[in-house]
């Protein structure tokens, strides 16, 4: 009996160690996506996308593995949460600035747990563009891209129509923290969006026998629009992952 109890304890400890390892083992996801327009871009658009950083510090060595030059860096919400010092948030922003590209940010539900105004000031002081039901246009050769940032559907006041009205590019990319928020959109609204980037779900974070509270991250189609969901870089509550990845994304748009 003692042997079996000891074996169970050792196995449990090994599983916990593995889950902690997975929570801090960074995966760089390289992904090429085609926008819904029929013609391909003359020059591909390069994006670095990271979501759900939460309590983690971004590893400099992870970003040093990336050789690409980016047109834009996007933070898909949950940059922080309650209990995270603002110094760590600012440090993470400066690490992302090493990619030498403009940075866009949208609000996640956990970002509202801290001093909203202080976080906003920190982002602006570090030249991060905050998109809250607003649109920003990026020009690349003969193409123009409108990036719409939706406010968080859990804590904020999302207004996709306002963002769409301000979008003037040839292509429209929506950044919304929670992918399920688009279920409230009309078919007409979705027809104006070429790509959705989101996070929030962590892919379920801990999956047992392939089962979790949310589906895995990845790419899917919703009303003929491509939707990419990240499993996130950080973790919620405890530093555990099982069956999911701590990931950031190098996205090439054709």
**CATH code for position 158:** 3.60.21.10
Token output for 184: 């409230």
pLDDT digits (tens, 9 = 90+) for 119-135: 999 999 999 999 999 99
Total domains present in the chain: 1
Tell me the pLDDT of the chain averaged across its residues.
Answer: 94
**pLDDT confidence bin for 140, thresholds 50/70/90:** confident
- Phi, psi torsion values for 186, nearest 5 degrees: -80, 165
pLDDT for residue 99 is more than 60: yes
CA distances from 26 to 62, 66, 129, 153, 177 (A): 7, 12, 26, 28, 20
Token output for 180: 């399920």
- Average of pLDDT values for 28-43? 81
pLDDT for residue 177 is more than 80: yes
> Cα angle vertex 203, ends 224, 179, to 5°?
40
pLDDT for residue 38 is more than 60: no
The whole-number pLDDT of residue 109 equals 96
> Cα angle vertex 34, ends 128, 193, to 5°?
60
Lowest-confidence pick of 39-53, 197-211, 228-242:
39-53
> In this prediction, what percent of the chain has a pLDDT beyond 70?
98
CA distances from 103 to 73, 90, 192, 197 (A): 5, 13, 24, 15
- Average of pLDDT values for 74-99? 97
> Cα angle vertex 190, ends 49, 77, to 5°?
30
**Residue of 112, 130, 133, 110 whose CA lies nearest to 122:** 130
Range of the domain at 113: 2-253
**pLDDT confidence bin for 6, thresholds 50/70/90:** confident
- Average of pLDDT values for 133-144? 91
């Amino acid at each position: 009996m003692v042997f079996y109890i000891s074996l169970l304890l050792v196995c449990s400890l090994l599983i916990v160690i593995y889950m902690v390892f997975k929570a801090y083992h960074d995966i760089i996801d390289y992904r090429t996506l085609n926008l819904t327009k029929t013609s391909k871009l003359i020059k591909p658009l390069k994006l670095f996308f990271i979501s759900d950083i939460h309590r983690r510090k971004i590893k400099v060595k992870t970003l040093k593995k990336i050789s690409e030059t980016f047109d834009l860096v996007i933070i898909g919400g949950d940059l922080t949460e309650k209990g995270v010092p603002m110094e760590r948030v600012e440090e993470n922003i400066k690490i992302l600035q090493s990619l030498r590209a403009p940075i866009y940010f949208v609000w996640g539900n956990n970002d509202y747990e801290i001093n909203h105004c202080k976080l906003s000031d920190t982002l602006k002081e570090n030249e991060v563009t905050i998109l809250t039901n607003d649109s920003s246009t990026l020009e690349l050769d003969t193409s123009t891209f409108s990036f719409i940032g939706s406010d968080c559907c859990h804590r904020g006041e999302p207004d996709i129509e306002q963002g769409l009205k301000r979008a003037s590019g040839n292509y429209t990319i929506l950044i919304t923290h929670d992918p399920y928020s688009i279920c409230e959109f009309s078919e007409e609204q979705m027809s104006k969006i070429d790509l959705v980037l989101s996070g929030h779900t962590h892919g379920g974070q801990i999956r047992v026998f392939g089962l979790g509270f949310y589906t895995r991250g990845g790419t899917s189609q919703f009303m003929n629009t491509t939707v990419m969901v990240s499993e996130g870089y950080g973790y919620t509550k405890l530093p555990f992952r099982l069956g999911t990845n701590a990931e950031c994304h190098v996205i090439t748009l054709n």
